[in-house]
Structure 1
Amino acid sequence: MASPDSTGDREKVVSKLPGWLRQDLKVRTAQLGVEIQTAVEQGINDWCDLASAPTAVDTSGADPFSTWLPPGQWELFRTTAADRRVSLIQGLAQAVQLWLQKNPAPAVKRPEHPRRVIVCNQKGGVGKTAVAAGTGEAMAEDPNTLYPVRVSKHFAALLEGQDHGSAADPIGIGELPGLGLRVLLVDFDPQCHLTQQLGHKPLPMDGDSLTKHMAGEPVGELRDLIVPIEEDRFGDRLHLLPSCNDAFLLDVKLAGVRAREAALERALAPIEPLFDVILVDCPPSLGLSMDAAVYYGRRRDNEPSGSSGALTVVQAEDSSADAYTLLTTQIEDLRHDLAIEIDYLGIVVNHYDARRGFIATSSLQAWMDIKDPRVVGVIGDLKEQKEAVRVKRPLLAYAPKSDQAVAMRALAREIS
């Protein structure tokens, strides 16, 4: 059935598609950045141009499906289907399947060199660990599955093949494929929060550790310490380098190490080729270990700006602003002293709750007023993150549709 569109350039078409085929269509159009209505239009054109109908598609359990097509195309399709003695539902399914075959899923875009993101702030308790974990989880989700992401309502409408949304209310929830990147989360904090929150135990003090590799005292290969985060949605793409309490001694050990600023880079260099993104959950410190982390996140030769760098996590309150000033001072000193380029990837305002009144809202506005680096994410102070920590599961596996998970996916795309 077809009815005129109010704009006069397309008509609404109502038919049926089996659920699995409709889902494949949604995923593929999202992967390719194509409107659903455009994909269906192209599929019908190609199907009508065939000499005969292709192999039948299983349409059992087909559900209502609607989209918008150019005027007259549906009537041509109906005539062609009648000539081929196939039902409109079967013909539409064949047309969609044909489009899917002609437009395969794109390969995951992998960076030429592994991106290095240091998640930092010298103030404790701002949620660096939660942001590091959530961002890494979002980067590693399945590229052939759709997940809710905070996007513009215009884009969300296009993903659904609907009208063009409202510019007056620009933020909505759309569904996008996972990024499918190979991610390593590095727990660089001696408190081991990231390690424990993801369900693993800290490395034993009498064994091998990242600290020992940085201090030039390795016991074995660093790659042997890496453990997978075993959740189906991440496949084999999300891994963790656990921490060890010996990291409390790292600043003392680094004091006697040659070129100590490069100690973290030397330690991680052998495993970099295994990953697309390495996120380092930094300690709340301004010591030598933080110098090593900042140096690791510097822009390397031939690396595009904004690929690697510092992601700063703050809260909407005054003490975070004081800590931010101390951190940026340290980064700028290193930039000047070592003649290196360090990119600021952005500011994440975490644990935000507007119900806290003027202090929260005015602080958020103050962060928003900083244009370089800009705010790239605002994460609400909600219960799902605390629950995920309690049960020792990744947030995006425990509560994949929660507001925090949706915001983490948006953040991952902002800095990708």
Structure 2
Amino acid sequence: MTSPAATGDREKVVSKLPGWLRQNLKVRAAQHGIEIQTAVEQGISAWIDLASAREPIDTAGADSFATFLPEGQWETFRAVASDRRVSLIQGLAQSVQLWLDTTPAPDIERPTITRRIVVCNQKGGVGKTAITAGLGEALAEDSNTLHPVRVAKALTAALRASATHTSEEGPDQNPLEIESLPGPGLRVLLVDFDPQCHLTNQLGGTPLPMDGDSLTNHMAGDPKGDLRDLIVSVDDDTFDGRLHLLPACHDAFLLDVRLSAVRAREAALERALTPLESDYDVIIVDCPPSLGLSMDAAAYYGRRRDGERPGQSGALIVVQAEDSSADAYDLLTHQIEDLRNDLALDLDYLGIVVNLYDGRRGYIATSSLQGWVDIKDPRVVGLVSDLKEQKEAVRMKQPLLSYAPTSQQAISMRALAREIS
């Protein structure tokens, strides 16, 4: 049937579609960045132009489906369906399936040079590990599934609102800022570079034994095997083999001492990880709270390489909305600037993530957030609230985005992933 309701030169059409077909349509339209009504219009137009009807579609369980079509298209469609002796529901299902068949899912956009993201801050407790994990999970999510995402254009407004917001819900609760988008579907390696092994433990992994092989051994030039053999897959049910973890070992406490005897020690992490890069689109390094040689090596690994676009790799700085984070930030940026100057590095700042934000803390939190926003370069690229789901996921030793995929923190992690892409 056709409703008198209209938008522009379109008229509202109400029919029925099977749930599975409607979901496939919704995902494919989102993958191509077009509206569902446009996809249906194209499918109906192509179906009308066919010489005859296609193979029947199973429409059992079809329920109400509404869209807007150009004026007159539905009447033409009804006439063609009548000539072909198929029901309107069957004809619509065939039209949608025809569009799906002729509009395949786009290829995953993979970087030509493996992206290297160094998550850092020499202050402990700011949540570097949570951001490392959440960012990696968001980048590895299924490209054939829709996930709730805070749209990038809303970030500035959210930051502005947060700086003056003190309610318990916070700006994250605004449903107008959320849309459903396909996952990036990238191959991601998370590197636990912290001897405390927080990332390894949070994702349910096991720290590497002290008497075995480790990333530290490879950086120190004393490998005991292939580094690939140490890598484990994370939650294949959710990430389908796209998300991997290189676990940490407590021997990393000795890394600075061992690096002091290594030639070109600033390149030690790069020498260790370069053989792995062909397997991944993105490598994310969870750095220790340190300004020692290990941080030098991490920063060097994140430098921009020949032929790489600015902003693809670099340092992602995690802070909190309080004064001690600002002090630590100054120390870290001084170290990075020294490396830039001493080694002539093109090391990009990917941005600042304000983590564990809670506007209920009042002026200390809101004024500190405003201070981060005022920096401009690097700019704030993420705001993650202090909510219970992340803590629960850590307790359960599960990835946040599989434990609580629709939580506000998960939505914020996806927004961060897109903001720095």
TM-score using structure 2 length:
0.93
Residue 166 (structure 1) aligns with: none
Pick the aligned partner of 1:274 from 279, 284, 287.
279
Give secondary structure in 2 for the equivalent of 1:199: coil
Residue 79 (structure 1) aligns with: 79
Structure 1 ranges of 4+ moved more than 2 A: 3-8
Are 1:244 and 2:239 matched, yes or no?
no
Residue 215 (structure 2) aligns with: 210
Query: Partners of 1:260 and 1:170 in 2: how far apart?
Result: 49
Give secondary structure in 1 for the equivalent of 2:283: strand
Aligned-residue Cα RMSD (Å) equals: 1.3
Whether the 8 Å CA contact 1:347–1:377 is kept in 2: the answer is yes
Letter in 2 for 1:366: G
Counting only pairs closer than 5 Å after superposition, residues 135-146 of structure 1 correspond to structure 2 as 135-146=135-146
Are 1:342 and 2:326 matched, yes or no?
no
Are 1:109 and 2:109 matched, yes or no?
yes
Pick the aligned partner of 1:306 from 303, 311, 320.
311
Are 1:318 and 2:335 matched, yes or no?
no
Are 1:45 and 2:50 matched, yes or no?
no
Query: Partners of 1:146 and 1:7 in 2: how far apart?
Result: 26
Structure 2 unmatched ranges of 5 or more: 155-173
Query: Partners of 1:386 and 1:75 in 2: how far apart?
Result: 55
Give secondary structure in 2 for the equivalent of 1:179: coil
Q: Count matched residues.
A: 402
Query: Partners of 2:358 and 2:138 in 1: how far apart?
Result: 22
Residue 358 (structure 2) aligns with: 353
Query: Partners of 1:21 and 1:114 in 2: how far apart?
Result: 36
Q: Deviations over 1:297-333 (max 9, x none)?
A: 0000111111100011000111111111111111111
Letter in 2 for 1:359: I
Query: 1:141/1:170 Cα in 2 relative to 1: closer, same or farther (>3 Å)?
Result: closer
Letter in 2 for 1:138: A
Pick the aligned partner of 2:394 from 386, 389, 392.
389
Whether the 8 Å CA contact 1:251–1:287 is kept in 2: the answer is yes
Query: Partners of 1:348 and 1:14 in 2: how far apart?
Result: 45
Identity of aligned residues (%): 75
Note the C-alpha offset of 1:7.
4.3
Note the C-alpha offset of 1:230.
2.6
Residue 182 (structure 2) aligns with: 177
Residue 120 (structure 1) aligns with: 120
Letter in 2 for 1:378: L
Residue 404 (structure 2) aligns with: 399
Note the C-alpha offset of 1:90.
0.5
Query: 1:249/1:174 Cα in 2 relative to 1: closer, same or farther (>3 Å)?
Result: same
Query: Partners of 2:260 and 2:153 in 1: how far apart?
Result: 52
Whether the 8 Å CA contact 2:16–2:64 is kept in 1: the answer is yes
Q: Deviations over 1:321-348 (max 9, x none)?
A: 1111111111111001001100111110
Residue 33 (structure 2) aligns with: 33
Query: Partners of 2:144 and 2:185 in 1: how far apart?
Result: 8
Query: Partners of 2:35 and 2:394 in 1: how far apart?
Result: 38
Whether the 8 Å CA contact 2:202–2:397 is kept in 1: the answer is yes
Letter in 2 for 1:49: D
Are 1:227 and 2:232 matched, yes or no?
yes
Whether the 8 Å CA contact 1:151–1:171 is kept in 2: the answer is no
Letter in 1 for 2:3: S
Q: Deviations over 1:62-94 (max 9, x none)?
A: 011111111111111111111111111111000
Residue 65 (structure 2) aligns with: 65
Query: Partners of 1:20 and 1:276 in 2: how far apart?
Result: 31
Pick the aligned partner of 1:295 from 300, 312, 319.
300
Letter in 1 for 2:215: L
Residue 20 (structure 1) aligns with: 20
Whether the 8 Å CA contact 1:122–1:283 is kept in 2: the answer is yes
Letter in 2 for 1:195: T
Are 1:147 and 2:152 matched, yes or no?
no
Query: 1:367/1:397 Cα in 2 relative to 1: closer, same or farther (>3 Å)?
Result: same
Query: Partners of 1:324 and 1:8 in 2: how far apart?
Result: 52
Q: Deviations over 1:260-305 (max 9, x none)?
A: 0000000111111111100000000100000000000000011111
Give secondary structure in 1 for the equivalent of 2:177: strand
Give secondary structure in 2 for the equivalent of 1:143: coil
Note the C-alpha offset of 1:8.
3.6
Letter in 2 for 1:251: D
